[in-house]
C-alpha cells in the first residue's frame, strides 16, 4: 500500500508535481456502463488521499464524500478531470461516460490524454465474446492510436472469468493483450497479486505467462540491450522490464492487463505504479498537427513550458457562480491567469471537418484551477502537458485553440461522431422563446457532437443528437441549466412539387376600382424538366403583346408561385415556363399586375397538368456486424430503400449502401442501435428527390 496522505498533503503534492511536464501523466479511462470505472476512479482517489472518508473533516472543512463523488459522475455524462499524485507524479485521470450516445466525450478524453485505460469487468465475456459497447470502446482506443492498457475489475464477481475476458479482448485488440499480474486467491476472494515480470520459481502456467510477457516486451520495446540479454539467456531484472513497458506500448500492439479489485484495494498501487513508470509523459507523445489561422502548416509542438503557448479546449461547461468554465489541455508553453489569448475555432472548415463555424476572438484568461475531488483549487499556472480549468472565456467553445495573440495557432480538430437523430423543438412559452436562441448557442458551444439547425423551409428548430440519452441530456440542460422549457414536435421533412406533364396556362388579372386600374394578361406553356435541372424561363412573345418592361414581371410572378407551390404548399421545381402571348393596357398595366398574371397562369397550368409530390432521398451507409447484414438489408427495403450494394470491412463488419427516403430515417438511429445491440452505426448525405407514392401523399400535411 502507498503511504496514506491527508487531503491537504495530497493538494500540496499535486501543486508541486504540476510544475514539471516530466512528472505529469494524462490517462483517459474508457469502459462500458456498469463496468466499475467510476468505482475504480473513486478507489484510486481514496488511495491517493484526494478524497476523504465519509465524515472526514480537516481544518473545519468537510472533504468530499465519496458517495457524492460517484453520484456527480454518474449524472454528468461528460468528460471529467480527476487529478491525483503518486510517487511524486501528477496523474490526470480523464473519466469518460460509457454510453454510446456520449462517444464525443470519449474522443475529447483521448485528445487530452497520452495513454488510455480500458476498464472491463471480469464478467464481460460470459459466452466467450465481449458485448458490443465494450468492443466499440476497444475500437475507439485503436483508432485514437494511444498506448492502451487494460484494467479488469470485479474480480470477486460470481461469474468472473479473467481468462475468458483476456481471450475476448485479444479478438479486438490483438494477441498481445497480456496480464502483468496473476490474482492470488483465498477461496473465492482475491487477496493480492503476483507480478508476472518477476523472475523466480513458479508453477508451469505462471512460468509460461512470464515467458510470453517477456518475449512481447523484448520484441515491442525495440531495446537492443534488452534483446541481447534475452537472446543470451540472461535473467532480466524486473526493473528493466518495467522500464520498457512504455516503449512497448508506444507501438500500439502491446496491451498490458492488470486485474484490480477496487472494493478491497487489491491492485490499486500496482496500477498507479504502472501509470507512473510505464505510461508516457507528455513530451514522449506526438502533439496534434498545428496550423496558422490561414491554414498553413506550423512547426510541430513540443511539451516545453518555455515554448509558444498552444492549448485546446476539450470540454466547456457553465457554472452558476463563475460562468463558463473551459477544461483545457496545454500542448506547449505555459498558461497563466489574466493572460491575453487568441481563441480560434477555425480548424473545422479549412480541414474539411464537421464542427462549429469558424470564429476568432482575442480575450483574457480568467482564473486557473485544478479539479480536486468535488472542488476547484486555484492554480498559479498550467504548464505544457497539464490539464486544468480556465474561467470566463466567453467566446471559447469545445474544440477551440488557445494561443498567444501575437502568434496565433489552430490545432487540427479531433474526429467527431455525426449526429443522426433529429429532434424538432419549440419554446413552451413566450418567455422561453426569448431565451431559446441564446441557450441553444451555449449548448452547441459545450457539445460539438450536438448540431443545432434552423431549417429555412420548414421553419423548425432541430437538434441533431446521437441517441435518446443524448437527447434527454440536451433537453435537461436546457431546462435546468438555462431555464428554457421546450416541447417536441413531429419532424417535418422538406418536400418538393413538380408537374406531371406539359400544359398551358392563362393568367388574367384585370381590376377597375376608380383611378388607375390593374390590367395584365399572359399565356404560358409549362413543361417539367429532368430532376435537378432547376428552372428555365423563356420569352417567345412576338409583336410586343407583352411590353418588354413587363417580361421580367411575369417571371417574378411565376417564381413567387413556384415558391408557394401548387398542391400542398411545397416549392415547385424543375420546370420550363415559356411566355407565348399576352395583352397589356397603356395606362392600367403595371409590374404588380403582370406578376399577379404570371402566378395565375402557372396555377392554371399546374391544375391542368397535375402535380407530383417529391420527397428527399438520402444515400445511407450502414455499418453492422456480418451476422446482421441480412436483417439490415430487409429493414432498409421495408423503409422503401433501394439497395446499392455491400462492402466488407475489417473486424467482421459490413457496410450496407442504399438510397432511402428521409421520412423513413427520422428514428432510424434508435432502431438500428436496438436491432444491432449497439453495434450498428450509419452515415447519410442528401442524394436526390423522387416522387412520393400517392397513397402516402394523403398523410402529408399542407405547408402553411
- Contact (CB, 8 A) for 604 and 507: yes
The torsion angles phi and psi of 600, rounded to 5 degrees, stand at: -65, -40
Query: Over the stretch 48-92, which tens digit does the pLDDT of each residue have?
Result: 888 765 433 333 333 344 454 554 454 457 889 999 999 999 999
Which 8-state DSSP code applies to residue 472? H
| Per-residue H/E/C for 557-619 | HHHHHHHHCCCCCCCECCEEEEEEEEECCCCCCCHHHHHHHHHHHHHHHHHHHCEEEEEEEEE
Torsion of CA 439, 28, 354, 406, to 10 degrees: 80
Query: Over the stretch 208-219, which tens digit does the pLDDT of each residue have?
Result: 888 899 889 888
Q: Which three cell numbers stand for residue 568?
A: 400542398
Which residue, among 19, 20, 25, 15, has the nearest Cα to 281 in the 3D structure?
A: 25
Question: What whole-number distance in Å separates Cα of residue 232 and Cα of residue 72?
Answer: 54
- 614-697, which class in CATH? alpha beta
Question: What whole-number distance in Å separates Cα of residue 164 and Cα of residue 651?
Answer: 19
Query: Over the stretch 428-459, which tens digit does the pLDDT of each residue have?
Result: 999 999 999 999 998 988 898 999 999 988 89
Report, as an integer, the average pLDDT of 595-609: 97
693 three-class SS: coil
Q: Is the pLDDT score of 484 beyond 80?
A: yes
Q: Which three cell numbers stand for residue 555?
A: 417571371
Query: Over the stretch 612-667, which tens digit does the pLDDT of each residue have?
Result: 999 999 999 999 999 999 999 999 999 999 999 999 998 889 999 999 999 999 99
Query: Over the stretch 284-308, which tens digit does the pLDDT of each residue have?
Result: 999 999 999 888 899 999 999 999 9
Q: How much is the pLDDT for 57? A: 33
Question: What whole-number distance in Å separates Cα of residue 503 and Cα of residue 525?
Answer: 6
Which residue, among 675, 695, 584, has the nearest Cα to 622 in the 3D structure?
A: 675
Question: What whole-number distance in Å separates Cα of residue 139 and Cα of residue 278?
Answer: 22
- Contact (CB, 8 A) for 454 and 87: no
Rg (alpha carbons) of the chain, rounded to whole number:
32
Protein fold of 290-411 = Elongation Factor Tu (Ef-tu); domain 3 (2.40.30)
Question: What whole-number distance in Å separates Cα of residue 388 and Cα of residue 382?
Answer: 7
Count of residues making up the chain: 704
Residues of CATH 3.30.70.240 domain(s) within the chain?
614-697
Q: How much is the pLDDT for 56? A: 39
Tell which wins on pLDDT, 174 or 651: 174
Question: What whole-number distance in Å separates Cα of residue 78 and Cα of residue 477?
Answer: 12
**DSSP for 373-438, written as a single string:** TTEEEE-S-EETT-EEEEE--SS--TT-EEE-TTS--EEPPPP-----EEEEEEESSHHHHHHHHH
Q: How much is the pLDDT for 8? A: 64
Report, as an integer, the average pLDDT of 579-607: 96
For 113-129, letters b (16+ CB in 10 Å) and e give bbbbbbbbbbbbbeeee
Protein fold of 421-489 = Alpha-Beta Plaits (3.30.70)
Helix (H) or strand (E) holding 239: helix 238-243
Give every CB contact of residue 440 below 8 A, 6+ residues apart in sequence.
452, 461, 463, 478
Which 8-state DSSP code applies to residue 60? T
Query: Over the stretch 260-289, which tens digit does the pLDDT of each residue have?
Result: 999 899 999 999 999 999 899 999 999 999
Query: Over the stretch 522-546, which tens digit does the pLDDT of each residue have?
Result: 999 999 999 989 999 999 999 999 9
* Strand partners for 424: 462, 489
Phi-psi bin for 459: left (phi > 0), alpha (psi -120 to 50), beta? left
Which residue, among 92, 77, 45, has the nearest Cα to 374 in the 3D structure?
A: 45
Which residue, among 365, 322, 323, 324, has the nearest Cα to 343 in the 3D structure?
A: 365
Query: Over the stretch 346-373, which tens digit does the pLDDT of each residue have?
Result: 665 666 666 667 789 999 999 999 876 5
Question: What whole-number distance in Å separates Cα of residue 393 and Cα of residue 343?
Answer: 9
Q: Is the pLDDT score of 550 beyond 80?
A: yes
- Contact (CB, 8 A) for 404 and 311: no
- Please state which architecture CATH assigns to domain 496-609: 2-Layer Sandwich (3.30)
The torsion angles phi and psi of 448, rounded to 5 degrees, stand at: -70, -10
**DSSP for 503-536, written as a single string:** EEEEEEEEE-SSSS-EEEEEEEEEEE--TT--EE
Q: Is the pLDDT score of 128 beyond 90?
A: no
Classify burial at 206, counting beta carbons within 10 Å of its beta carbon; exposed 0-12, middle 13-18, buried 19 or more. middle
361 three-class SS: strand
Torsion of CA 555, 561, 566, 570, to 10 degrees: 120
Q: How much is the pLDDT for 18? A: 67
Q: How much is the pLDDT for 75? A: 47
Protein fold of 7-197+252-283 = Rossmann fold (3.40.50)
Q: How much is the pLDDT for 542? A: 92
Residues of CATH 2.40.30.10 domain(s) within the chain?
290-411
Angle at Cα 664 formed by Cα 609 and Cα 455, nearest 5°? 75
Phi-psi bin for 358: left (phi > 0), alpha (psi -120 to 50), beta? beta
Residues of CATH 3.30.70.870 domain(s) within the chain?
421-489
Q: Give the count of beta carbons closer than 10 Å to the beta carbon of residue 272.
A: 21
- Contact (CB, 8 A) for 565 and 613: no
- Average pLDDT, rounded, for the chain: 89
Which residue, among 124, 127, 102, 105, has the nearest Cα to 35 in the 3D structure?
A: 124
Question: What whole-number distance in Å separates Cα of residue 539 and Cα of residue 547?
Answer: 11
Q: Which three cell numbers stand for residue 652?
A: 467482421
Report, as an integer, the average pLDDT of 475-492: 94
CA distances from residue 134 to 404, 418, 577 in whole angstroms, order as listed: 40, 20, 59
Query: Over the stretch 240-267, which tens digit does the pLDDT of each residue have?
Result: 888 788 888 988 889 999 999 998 999 9
- Look up the pTM and report it: 0.88
The torsion angles phi and psi of 207, rounded to 5 degrees, stand at: -60, -40
Amino acid at each position: 500500500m502507498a503511504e496514506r496522505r491527508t487531503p491537504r498533503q495530497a493538494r500540496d503534492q499535486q501543486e508541486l508535481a504540476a510544475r514539471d511536464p516530466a512528472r505529469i501523466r494524462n490517462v483517459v479511462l474508457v469502459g462500458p456502463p456498469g463496468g466499475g470505472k467510476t468505482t475504480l476512479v473513486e478507489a484510486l482517489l481514496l488511495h491517493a488521499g484526494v478524497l476523504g472518508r465519509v465524515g472526514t473533516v480537516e481544518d473545519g472543512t468537510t472533504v468530499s464524500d465519496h458517495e457524492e463523488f460517484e453520484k456527480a459522475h454518474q449524472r454528468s455524462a461528460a468528460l471529467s478531470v480527476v487529478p491525483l499524485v503518486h510517487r511524486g507524479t501528477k496523474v490526470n485521470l480523464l473519466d469518460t461516460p460509457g454510453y454510446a450516445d456520449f462517444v464525443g466525450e470519449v474522443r475529447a478524453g483521448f485528445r487530452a490524454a497520452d495513454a488510455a485505460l480500458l476498464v472491463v469487468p471480469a464478467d464481460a465475456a460470459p459466452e466467450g465474446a465481449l458485448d458490443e459497447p465494450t468492443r466499440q470502446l476497444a475500437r475507439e482506443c485503436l483508432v485514437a492510436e494511444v498506448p492502451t492498457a487494460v484494467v479488469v475489475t470485479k474480480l470477486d464477481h460470481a461469474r468472473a472469468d479473467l481468462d475468458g475476458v483476456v481471450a475476448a479482448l485479444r479478438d479486438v485488440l490483438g494477441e498481445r493483450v497480456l496480464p502483468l499480474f496473476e490474482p492470488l486467491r483465498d477461496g473465492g476472494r482475491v487477496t493480492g497479486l503476483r507480478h508476472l515480470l518477476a523472475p523466480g520459481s513458479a508453477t508451469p502456467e505462471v512460468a509460461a505467462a512470464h515467458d510470453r510477457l517477456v518475449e512481447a516486451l523484448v520484441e515491442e520495446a525495440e531495446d537492443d540491450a534488452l534483446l541481447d540479454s534475452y537472446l543470451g539467456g540472461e535473467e532480466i531484472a524486473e526493473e528493466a522490464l518495467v522500464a520498457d513497458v512504455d516503449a512497448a506500448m508506444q507501438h500500439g500492439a502491446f496491451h498490458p492487463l492488470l486485474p484490480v479489485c477496487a472494493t478491497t484495494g487489491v491492485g490499486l498501487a500496482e496500477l498507479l505504479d504502472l501509470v507512473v513508470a510505464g505510461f508516457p509523459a507528455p513530451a514522449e507523445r506526438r502533439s496534434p498537427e498545428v496550423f496558422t489561422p490561414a491554414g498553413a502548416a506550423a512547426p510541430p509542438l513540443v511539451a516545453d513550458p518555455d515554448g509558444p503557448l498552444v492549448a485546446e479546449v476539450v470540454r466547456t461547461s457553465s457554472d452558476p457562480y463563475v460562468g463558463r468554465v473551459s477544461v483545457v489541455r496545454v500542448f506547449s508553453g505555459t498558461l497563466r491567469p489574466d493572460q491575453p489569448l487568441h481563441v480560434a475555432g477555425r480548424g473545422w472548415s479549412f480541414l474539411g471537418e464537421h464542427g462549429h463555424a469558424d470564429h476568432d476572438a482575442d480575450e483574457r484568461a480568467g482564473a486557473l484551477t485544478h479539479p480536486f475531488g468535488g472542488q476547484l483549487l486555484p492554480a498559479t499556472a498550467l504548464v505544457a502537458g497539464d490539464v486544468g480549468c480556465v474561467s470566463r472565456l466567453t467566446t471559447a467553445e469545445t474544440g477551440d485553440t488557445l494561443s498567444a495573440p501575437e502568434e496565433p495557432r489552430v490545432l487540427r480538430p479531433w474526429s467527431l461522431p455525426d449526429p443522426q437523430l433529429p429532434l424538432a423543438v419549440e419554446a413552451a412559452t413566450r418567455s422561453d422563446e426569448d431565451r431559446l436562441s441564446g441557450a441553444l448557442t451555449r449548448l452547441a458551444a459545450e457539445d460539438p457532437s450536438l448540431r443545432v439547425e434552423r431549417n429555412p423551409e420548414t421553419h423548425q428548430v432541430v437538434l441533431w443528437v446521437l441517441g435518446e440519452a443524448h437527447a434527454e441530456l440536451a433537453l435537461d440542460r436546457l431546462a435546468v441549466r438555462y431555464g428554457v422549457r421546450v416541447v417536441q414536435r413531429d419532424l417535418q421533412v422538406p418536400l418538393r412539387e413538380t408537374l406531371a406533364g406539359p400544359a398551358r396556362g392563362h393568367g388574367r388579372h384585370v381590376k377597375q376600382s376608380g383611378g388607375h386600374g390593374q390590367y395584365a394578361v399572359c399565356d404560358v406553356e409549362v413543361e417539367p424538366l429532368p430532376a435537378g435541372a432547376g428552372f428555365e424561363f423563356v420569352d417567345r412573345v412576338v409583336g410586343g403583346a407583352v411590353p418588354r418592361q413587363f417580361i421580367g414581371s411575369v417571371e417574378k410572378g411565376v417564381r413567387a408561385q413556384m415558391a408557394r407551390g401548387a398542391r400542398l404548399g411545397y416549392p415547385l421545381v424543375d420546370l420550363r415556363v415559356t411566355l407565348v402571348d399576352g395583352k397589356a393596357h397603356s395606362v392600367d398595366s403595371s409590374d404588380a399586375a403582370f406578376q399577379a398574371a404570371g402566378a395565375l397562369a402557372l396555377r392554371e397550368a399546374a391544375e391542368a397538368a397535375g402535380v407530383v409530390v417529391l420527397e428527399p432521398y438520402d444515400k445511407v451507409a450502414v455499418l453492422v456486424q456480418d451476422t446482421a447484414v441480412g436483417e439490415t438489408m430487409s429493414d432498409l427495403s421495408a423503409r422503401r430503400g433501394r439497395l446499392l450494394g455491400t462492402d466488407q470491412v475489417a473486424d467482421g463488419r459490413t457496410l450496407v449502401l442504399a438510397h432511402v427516403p428521409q421520412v423513413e430515417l427520422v428514428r432510424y438511429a434508435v432502431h438500428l442501435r436496438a436491432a444491432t445491440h449497439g453495434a450498428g452505426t450509419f452515415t447519410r448525405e442528401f442524394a436526390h428527390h423522387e416522387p412520393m407514392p400517392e397513397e402516402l401523399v394523403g398523410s402529408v400535411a399542407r405547408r402553411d
